[in-house]
Structure 1
Amino acid sequence: MEWAVHSCVNMAWTPAGEAVNSARLAEYYSLPGAYLNKQLQALVRAGILVSVSGPRGGFHLARRPENVTVLDIVLALEGADPVFRCEGIMASVPNADMERNVVRTCLISQTMRQAELAWRQALARQTIAGLADSMDRRFPQDRQKALRYLAVGS
C-alpha cells in the first residue's frame, strides 16, 4: 500500500497526462519492479491509474489527484472486506448463551469494527492532492529530486 500511495503522489507531481515509468519508480524506491507493477495494475483496474504503452509509457493518474483518496488505493489493493472478522468464538465457550447474538454483542468485535470505521473515514478524508501538497510544503526538495530521477517534465 505504501508503495502505491507514494507512486500516486509522484504522479500527482508530474504534468497532467505524462506517464511515469514503473521501472524507474521501482528503482527510485529500491522496490521489486514486478510487485510494484502488479500494484499499479490493480490501480488501473480500479480506475485510479491509466496505463500507457510505448517507449514513453508508464502510468499516470486517471482522475485529478483531489479526486483520489488513500481509501480508494487501499480498497483497490486490499478489497472492501473488513480487516477484522468476528468468528463468534464466544458461542463456543462452555455454557454459552445460545440466544445471544455474539457477533453483535461482543465488545471486542464492536471495538474492532469501530476502529476500522474510523480508519476508513480518516483515509477517505486524505486525498493524493492533499498529501502531495503537504509533502511539497514540508519537503520541497523531495518533489524536485523525484521528478529529476524519474525524468518527468525535463
Structure 2
Amino acid sequence: MKLGDGVEAAIHCAAMLAGVEGDGTLPGNAMAEAFGQSPSYLLKHLKALTGAKILESVPGPNGGYRLARSAEQITLLDIVLAVEGREPAFRCGEIRQKGAYALDASAYVKPCGINVAMLKAERAYRTALAETRLSDIVADFTADADPRVVAASCAFVAQNQRPQSSKTRTINERKMP
C-alpha cells in the first residue's frame, strides 16, 4: 500500500503545530518552507485538515494555522482519512466475474477471498493508526530525535509563530459562553 506524499506532509505539519503556544498560529508558507514543499501543494493538504476539523485556519495579518483540538485528541488515522479519504486502499473490482472464463453471477455467491483478506488487513492498519495519537509522535520525537533536530524545530516554530491579535482574541472571547 502506498499513501500519497501529502500524508507525510500533513502529519509533519500537525506535529509542528502541536508546538505552537496558546492561540498562536503558523503560516502555511512557513511550514512549506520548513519541509521543502511547494506552498500551493501544502496548502491543499492544510485545507483538507481544516475541513476535517483537525486544524483551524485563522485569517488576517496574524493568521495561519493551529490545531483545532489538542494533540492528544488527534490520531494518525484522523490525518490519513482527511488527506486520503475514507475509501479503503484496496477496491475490489470483481474481476473474477469478467474475462474469458467468467460464469453466471450465481457462481459467485461467496465474497471474493482476496477482497476479504485485503479488507482485513486494512482494518488492522486503520486500528494501528487510530491507536497512535499526534501527542505520541511529538513525545517520541522530543525523547528520541537528535537534540539538534529538536532544537532546530523548536526554534523554527518560535521564530515563525504568530500571536493571535487582540482583535481576534476579543471576538473569540465574545463567542465563549
Q: State the TM-score, normalizing by the size of structure 2.
A: 0.79
| Equivalent residue number for residue 131 of structure 1 | 137
Structure 1: gaps spanning 5 or more residues: none
* Residue in structure 2 matching 1:141, options 123, 148, 157: 148
Distance change (3 Å), C-alpha of 1:72 and 1:126: same
Size of the alignment, in residue pairs?
153
State whether residues 91 and 102 of structure 1, in contact with CA within 8 Å, keep that contact through their aligned partners in structure 2: no
State whether residues 75 and 133 of structure 2, in contact with CA within 8 Å, keep that contact through their aligned partners in structure 1: yes
Equivalents in 2 of 1:83, 1:102: separation in Å? 24
More deviation, 121-130/7-16: 7-16
The share of aligned pairs that are identical, in percent, is: 34
State whether residues 5 and 70 of structure 1, in contact with CA within 8 Å, keep that contact through their aligned partners in structure 2: yes
Distance change (3 Å), C-alpha of 1:50 and 1:153: closer
State whether residues 86 and 103 of structure 1, in contact with CA within 8 Å, keep that contact through their aligned partners in structure 2: no
Amino acid of the structure 1 residue aligned with 2:88: P
Q: Give the match's secondary structure for 2:105.
A: coil
Moved over 3 A (4+): 100-103
State whether residues 29 and 39 of structure 2, in contact with CA within 8 Å, keep that contact through their aligned partners in structure 1: yes
State whether residues 72 and 134 of structure 2, in contact with CA within 8 Å, keep that contact through their aligned partners in structure 1: yes
Equivalents in 1 of 2:110, 2:79: separation in Å? 29
Equivalents in 2 of 1:74, 1:22: separation in Å? 19
| Equivalent residue number for residue 51 of structure 1 | 57
Q: State the TM-score, normalizing by the size of structure 1.
A: 0.90
Shift in Å, 1:53: 1.8
* Residue in structure 2 matching 1:24, options 19, 23, 30: 30
| Equivalent residue number for residue 98 of structure 1 | 105
Shift in Å, 1:147: 2.6
Structure 2: gaps spanning 5 or more residues: 1-6, 163-177
Aligned residue runs from structure 1 range 78-89, under 5 A: 78-89=84-95
Q: Give the match's secondary structure for 1:19.
A: coil
Amino acid of the structure 2 residue aligned with 1:142: V
Q: Give the match's secondary structure for 1:55.
A: coil
More deviation, 58-67/47-56: 47-56
Distance change (3 Å), C-alpha of 1:95 and 1:3: closer
